[in-house]
């Protein structure tokens, strides 16, 4: 046994990176610490599958470490000695092991970053911090890239990363002469589009289900059966990567915005949870997709692979950079001064608006919805209805299995709600029923009539859309990307304008019964 003083190394639940240099050699003086704690289960109300997936992945990662010969101290949720927060548990372990130092990896959430920065002072012990060795960029890359600029242009950041990584590049220019194939990746709804079954990554969670119930943890959503069908090991995640590249990538970009009652996942990879807890890396995922395209270019078009690389290497890194450039002030932004409470049916899906019923119901059942469901259905409704962005943030952060604040908040408060006034998006993503009908089969069986702007059973999106722009005219009319909305509004007869405002007001006053 080593005589070197013991060092405790904290591993957070979203730092399950088997490729981290920490684990490259066995060190007897190092004790790796993982813990299931109430401060993490309770800061918002989480989906039951999210808690199950985190604990399942953490337990299996701890077993992997032990099998590699590393020393591990794992604190289960119901352990008698569990103080239910990081600092108190580390204080106890410091005494137990007579540890002389503590180390951790940079956390990805601001609240944990601040808590762990206090460890050295609170515990009176040397504390060191290292990179998580996961992302393609650092926390400060975006801020440095845009130093002196007024806006954070996503396309500029994306091109910088493409040049840095060499993804789909020939020298300093894109392989095909084009950087972006977004225009080719906007296919509307198509009937009879059915992806192949996803590979089985199920993991038994009966004991965890019982544990969560016994401990009285408040959750939302459903878990069907005693097996969790999300990747909770690196091997499972790699199988999902391979499945995506072979069967889903050829159609990914084309149908990435489509929404279907029959197909909750379509051609999306379902890799976001595994990525966000670091079972796999963005480099591995992008390089696998590019390799698949290079091997079979007749079957996989450049538009499909570029669209995927842009989401992983571009957008994911971009929103992380925004988060660290703008926090903590970012969490307080409320451009429209929205104050309305989230409708009660956001928690149960019991609404007569079929698009919201489907998107929320799927979220409750699967802990998942793809980006258009989040942006243009649930998000667009919250925007049009003037929902408090704090409540919107909490809902998104809790309900989605892949939601961690660094990625959720810029997408929600920024892109979806425009609460940041344009830091992330160049315009509010407000939409009427026309967009939802084009991209989905939701409207065909809806209680409301998508073609009606006002009157009995008129689609709420239509009047709320125009009311939103009318109410926020002083804030928005100079935005060059939405000027036509006001040109159109001003052409409406006064009676039509009043009917739309009256309809929207009625719906907002009866929002919990829609």
The predicted-structure confidence for 390-420, as pLDDT tens digits, reads as follows 999 999 999 999 999 999 999 999 999 999 9
Gap between the Cα atoms of 47 and 409, Å rounded: 17
Low-confidence ranges of the chain (pLDDT < 70): 1-2
- Cβ-proximal residues to 418 (8 Å cutoff; 6+ apart), any chain: 335, 336, 383, 425, 427, 428, 429
449, β-bridge pairs: 458
Question: Is the Cβ–Cβ distance between 303 and 184 less than 8 Å?
Answer: yes
C-beta contacts of 111-116 below 8 A and 24+ residues apart: 111/43, 111/405, 112/12, 112/86, 115/86, 115/87, 116/10, 116/86
- For 116, the token pair is 């762990």
User: Quick check: 46 and 138 in contact, CB under 8 A?
Assistant: no
Structure tokens at 81: 């000695």
- By residue count, the chain amounts to 514
Burial class (CB in 10 A: 0-12, 13-18, 19+), 80: exposed
pLDDT score for 200: 80
pLDDT value for 143:
96
Kind of pairing between the strands at 227-228 and 203-204: antiparallel
Query: What are the structural domains, with CATH classification, of the chain?
Result: 7-130 (3.40.50.620), 141-326 (1.25.40.80), 344-513 (1.10.579.10)
From CA 10, how far away is CA 22, in angstroms rounded? 11
- C-alpha dihedral (30, 34, 35, 40), degrees to nearest 10: 130
Q: Which is nearest to 435 in space by CA: 360, 355, 506, 491?
A: 355
Note the helical H segments in 215-295.
234-243, 249-252, 272-276, 282-295
> How many CB atoms are closer than 10 A to CB 7?
19
C-alpha dist (Å) from residue 433 to 62, 250, 417, 436, 477: 48, 29, 18, 5, 22
Q: Do residues 201 and 239 make contact, with C-beta atoms less than 8 angstroms apart?
A: yes
Q: How far is CA 152 from CA 115, 140, 324, 336, 421, in A?
A: 28, 13, 13, 21, 13
Secondary element (H or E) of residue 110? helix 110-117
Q: In sequence order, what are the residues at sequence separation of 6 or more whose Cβ sits closer than 8 angstroms to the Cβ of residue 367?
A: 47, 48, 49, 50, 53, 221, 230, 399, 400, 401
How far is residue 359's CA from residue 190's CA, in Å, rounded to a whole number? 18
pLDDT of residue 2: 60
Residue among 93, 156, 150, 87 at smallest CA distance from 122: 87
Nearest alpha-carbon partner for 337 in 239, 418, 441: 418
pTM equals: 0.95
Backbone angles phi, psi at 129, to 5 degrees: -135, 140
């Amino acid at each position: 046994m080593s005589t070197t003083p013991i060092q405790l190394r904290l591993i957070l639940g979203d730092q399950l990176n088997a490729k981290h240099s920490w684990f490259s050699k066995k060190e007897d003086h190092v004790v790796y610490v993982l813990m299931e704690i109430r401060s993490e289960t309770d800061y918002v109300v989480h989906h039951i599958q999210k808690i199950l997936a985190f604990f399942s992945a953490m337990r299996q990662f701890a077993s992997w470490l032990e099998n590699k010969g590393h020393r591990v101290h794992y604190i289960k949720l119901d352990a008698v000695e569990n103080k239910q927060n990081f600092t108190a548990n580390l204080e106890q372990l410091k005494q137990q092991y007579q540890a002389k130092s503590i180390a951790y990896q940079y956390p990805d959430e601001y609240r944990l970053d601040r808590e762990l920065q206090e460890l050295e002072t609170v515990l009176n012990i040397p504390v060191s911090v290292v990179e998580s060795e996961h992302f393609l960029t650092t926390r400060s890359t975006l801020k440095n890239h845009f130093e002196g600029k007024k806006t954070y242009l996503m396309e500029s950041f994306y091109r910088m990363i493409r040049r840095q990584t060499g993804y789909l590049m020939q020298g300093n220019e894109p392989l095909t002469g084009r950087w972006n194939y977004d225009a080719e990746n906007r296919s509307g709804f198509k009937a009879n589009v059915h992806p192949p079954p996803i590979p089985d990554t199920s993991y038994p969670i009966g004991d965890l289900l019982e544990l969560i119930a016994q401990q009285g943890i408040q959750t939302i959503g459903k878990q069907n059966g005693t097996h969790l069908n999300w990747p909770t090991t690196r091997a499972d995640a790699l199988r999902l990567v391979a499945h995506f590249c072979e069967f889903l990538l050829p159609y990914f970009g084309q149908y990435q915005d489509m929404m279907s009652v029959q197909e909750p996942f379509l051609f999306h990879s379902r890799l976001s949870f595994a990525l966000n807890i670091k079972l796999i890396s963005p480099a591995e995922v992008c390089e696998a997709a590019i390799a698949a395209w290079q091997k079979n270019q007749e079957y996989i078009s450049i538009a499909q692979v570029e669209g995927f690389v842009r989401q992983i290497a571009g957008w994911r890194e971009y929103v992380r950079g925004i988060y660290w450039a703008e926090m903590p002030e970012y969490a307080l932004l409320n451009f429209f001064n929205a104050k309305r409470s989230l409708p009660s049916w956001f928690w149960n899906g019991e609404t007569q608006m079929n698009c919201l019923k489907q998107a929320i119901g799927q979220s409750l059942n699967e802990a998942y919805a793809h980006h258009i469901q989040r942006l243009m259905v649930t998000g667009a409704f919250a925007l049009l209805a003037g929902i408090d962005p704090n409540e919107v943030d909490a809902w998104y952060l809790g309900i989605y299995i892949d939601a961690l604040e660094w990625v959720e908040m810029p997408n929600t408060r920024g892109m979806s709600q425009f609460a940041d006034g344009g830091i992330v998006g160049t315009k509010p993503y407000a939409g009427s029923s026309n967009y939802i009908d084009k991209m989905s089969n939701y409207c065909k069986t809806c209680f409301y009539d998508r073609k009606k702007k006002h009157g009995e059973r008129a689609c709420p999106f239509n009047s709320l859309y125009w009311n939103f722009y009318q109410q926020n005219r002083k804030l928005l009319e100079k935005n060059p990307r939405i000027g036509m909305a006001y040109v159109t509004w001003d052409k409406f007869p006064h009676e039509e304008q009043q009917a739309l405002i009256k309809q929207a007001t009625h719906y907002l006053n009866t929002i919990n019964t829609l």
